[in-house]
Structure 1
Amino acid sequence: MSAPEATTADAEPAEADWSAVQELPPSAKLVAKVLEYDGTLTQSQLADETLLPPRTVRYALNRLEDVGVVDSRFSFADARKRIYTLTIE
Structure 2
Amino acid sequence: MAQEKLTSLDELPPSAKLVYKVLEYESDLTQDQLATETRLPPRTVRYALNELQSCGLIEENLYFADARKRLYSIQTDETQ
Normalization by structure 2: what TM-score? 0.88
Is residue 18–residue 88 contact of structure 1 (8 Å, CA) maintained in 2? no
Q: What is the match of residue 86 of structure 1?
A: 74
- The residue type equivalent to 1:39 in the other structure is S
How much does 1:87 deviate? 1.2
Q: What is the match of residue 19 of structure 1?
A: 7
- The residue type equivalent to 1:84 in the other structure is Y
RMSD: 1.7
- The residue type equivalent to 1:64 in the other structure is L
5+ long unaligned stretches in structure 1: 1-13
Aligned residue-pair number: 76
1:33 to 21, 24, 40: 21
Fraction of identical pairs, as percent: 57
Three-state SS of the structure 2 residue aligned to 1:76 is coil
Larger Rg: 1
Q: What is the match of residue 70 of structure 1?
A: 58
Greater helix proportion: 2
1:56 to 25, 28, 44: 44
Normalization by structure 1: what TM-score? 0.79
5+ long unaligned stretches in structure 2: none
